[in-house]
């Protein structure tokens, strides 16, 4: 049980233990500079006095806020709330606290948020939004990690999207599709997710598979995506009538929308359609039938991101440069997860 109590100060602890205030202060900022016996006496006193630490005062003494700032772009895609969840959970391991902002795709807001974070002496930053360039972020000279966004000038942790794209194509090919299709939004080649497109294309080309990449302006809202994908289905049914179509959509939310449109039309997923998503978001399991997907290991992405920020924070404390010659980019393997939407009979190609 917790109660609001009179605040215990360093003065009170000094009086109680007969140590000087300087000694008490050293106990908090550099305990090993004191004899073990003195440490024990002070530690006992803190317990008896029910001392509540004042981190703000401590920050002024040693400059360490233990704050990491996070900028999330939005919460429409569950990927972001999953990553945030996992990042927040690292508190148990690393003890860092997180100040969180939502960017909403607005450059000026994000710059203001960053100034706000800096004014609170954050020790590092994790950026998931893609509004500000990594060049601009790198000028902050702050321990920094981005996740799944343009990262040329800063450290980052990303999924191996290229391998993911290849895995998706390979799984569809294994089930003997006549045509492989990838649906994505027009993607900047500097963004890690671009690898989903090139991985898919390279695999198809290397294996002489008939394929097509459809770039559509998706991912803005569910209603819009429905209209766009409805139109894609209309075109596919004219163009590839009677042929076995293997569809790889750029994320599970889109794959779910696509699957629902077909299911509503046919009362089931027709035999001539195979569907794959990307992310392994909860949507892919909770859909009308479970959707095959390329899973991002969100727990690892988040954990490695925090670890990489903390490494930089510690290096800085030791007076080392932020990172050696150039930014570190960690890559997390994707995991292929075959489910019901690709369970067609395996055929010879």
Burial class (CB in 10 A: 0-12, 13-18, 19+), 250: buried
| Residues whose CB falls within 8 Å of the CB of residue 36, separated by 6 or more in sequence, listed in order | none
Contacts with its own copies in 245-304 (CB under 8 A)? 253, 256-257, 260, 263-264, 267-268, 282-283, 285-289
Cβ atoms of 129 and 105 within 8 Å: the answer is yes
Q: Does 94 bind its own copies (CB under 8 A)?
A: no
| Identified binder of its own copies from the candidate list 29, 33, 85, 93, rule CB under 8 A | 85
Q: Does 115 bind its own copies (CB under 8 A)?
A: yes
Q: Which is nearer to its own copies, 3 or 318 (CB)?
A: 3
Q: Which is nearer to its own copies, 76 or 207 (CB)?
A: 76
Q: Which is nearer to its own copies, 41 or 99 (CB)?
A: 99
| Identified binder of its own copies from the candidate list 34, 41, 99, 173, rule CB under 8 A | 99
Token readout for 344 is 């067609």
Residue 264: CB minimum distance to its own copies, A: 7
User: How big is the chain, counted in residues?
Assistant: 349
| Identified binder of its own copies from the candidate list 102, 127, 209, 229, rule CB under 8 A | 102
* Helix H or strand E encompassing 320: none
Q: Which is nearer to its own copies, 152 or 222 (CB)?
A: 222
Q: Does 120 bind its own copies (CB under 8 A)?
A: yes
Binding piece for its own copies, criterion CB under 8 A, among 13-21, 26-34, 116-124, 148-156: 116-124
- Greatest CA separation found in the chain? 89
Residue 137: CB minimum distance to its own copies, A: 9
Count of Cβ atoms closer than 10 Å to residue 179 Cβ: 18
> What span, in angstroms and rounded, lies between the C-alpha atoms of 337 and 235?
28
> What span, in angstroms and rounded, lies between the C-alpha atoms of 341 and 70?
36
Residue 174: CB minimum distance to its own copies, A: 25
Contacts with its own copies in 147-206 (CB under 8 A)? none
Binding piece for its own copies, criterion CB under 8 A, among 78-86, 192-200, 206-214, 300-308: 78-86
Task: Tell me phi and psi for residue 270, to 5 degrees.
Answer: -60, 150
Q: Does 64 bind its own copies (CB under 8 A)?
A: no
Helix axes 10-17, 21-29, angle to 10 degrees: 110
For residue 159, list its beta bridge partners.
332
Sheet holding 335-337: strands in order across? 211-215, 179-184, 245-249, 273-279, 292-295, 335-337
| Residues whose CB falls within 8 Å of the CB of residue 330, separated by 6 or more in sequence, listed in order | 155, 156, 157, 158, 304, 308
Residue 94: CB minimum distance to its own copies, A: 13
Residue 75: CB minimum distance to its own copies, A: 4
| Residues whose CB falls within 8 Å of the CB of residue 21, separated by 6 or more in sequence, listed in order | 10, 11, 14
Q: Which is nearer to its own copies, 23 or 226 (CB)?
A: 226
Q: Which is nearer to its own copies, 133 or 300 (CB)?
A: 133
> What span, in angstroms and rounded, lies between the C-alpha atoms of 185 and 220?
10
Q: Which is nearer to its own copies, 140 or 173 (CB)?
A: 140
Cβ atoms of 312 and 207 within 8 Å: the answer is no
Which positions lie near its own copies, rule CB under 8 A?
1-4, 52-57, 59-60, 65, 74-76, 78, 81-82, 84-85, 88-89, 91-92, 97-102, 104, 109, 111, 113-116, 118-121, 136, 139-142, 222, 253, 256-257, 260, 263-264, 267-268, 282-283, 285-289
């Amino acid at each position: 049980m917790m109660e609001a109590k009179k605040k215990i100060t360093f003065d009170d602890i000094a009086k109680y233990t007969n140590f000087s205030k300087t000694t008490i202060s050293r106990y908090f900022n550099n305990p090993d500079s004191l004899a073990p016996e003195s440490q024990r006496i002070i530690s006992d006193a803190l317990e008896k006095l029910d001392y509540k630490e004042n981190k703000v005062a401590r920050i002024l003494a040693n400059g360490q806020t233990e704050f990491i700032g996070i900028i999330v772009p939005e919460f429409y895609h569950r990927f972001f709330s999953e990553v945030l969840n996992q990042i927040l959970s690292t508190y148990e391991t690393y003890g860092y606290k997180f100040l969180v902002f939502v960017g909403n795709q607005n450059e000026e807001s994000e710059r203001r948020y960053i100034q706000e974070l800096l004014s609170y002496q954050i020790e590092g930053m994790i950026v998931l939004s893609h509004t500000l360039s990594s060049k601009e972020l790198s000028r902050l000279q702050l321990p920094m990690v981005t996740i799944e966004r343009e990262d040329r000038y800063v450290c980052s942790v990303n999924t191996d999207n290229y391998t993911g794209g290849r895995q998706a194509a390979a799984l569809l090919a294994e089930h003997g599709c006549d045509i492989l299709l990838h649906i994505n939004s027009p993607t900047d080649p500097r963004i890690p997710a671009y690898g989903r497109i090139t991985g898919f294309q390279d695999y198809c080309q290397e294996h002489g598979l008939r394929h097509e990449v459809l770039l559509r302006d998706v991912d803005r809202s569910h209603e819009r995506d429905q209209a766009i994908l409805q139109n894609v289905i209309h075109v596919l049914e004219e163009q590839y009538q009677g042929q076995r179509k293997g569809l790889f959509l750029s994320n599970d939310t889109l794959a779910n929308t696509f699957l629902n449109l077909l299911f509503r039309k046919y009362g089931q997923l027709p035999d001539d359609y195979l569907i794959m998503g990307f992310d392994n978001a909860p949507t892919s399991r909770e859909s009308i039938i479970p959707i095959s997907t390329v899973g991002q290991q969100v727990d690892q992405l988040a954990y490695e991101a925090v670890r990489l920020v903390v490494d930089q924070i510690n290096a800085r404390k030791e007076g080392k440069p932020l990172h050696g010659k150039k930014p570190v980019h960690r890559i997390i393997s994707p995991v292929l997860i075959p489910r019901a939407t690709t369970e067609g009979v395996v055929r010879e190609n």
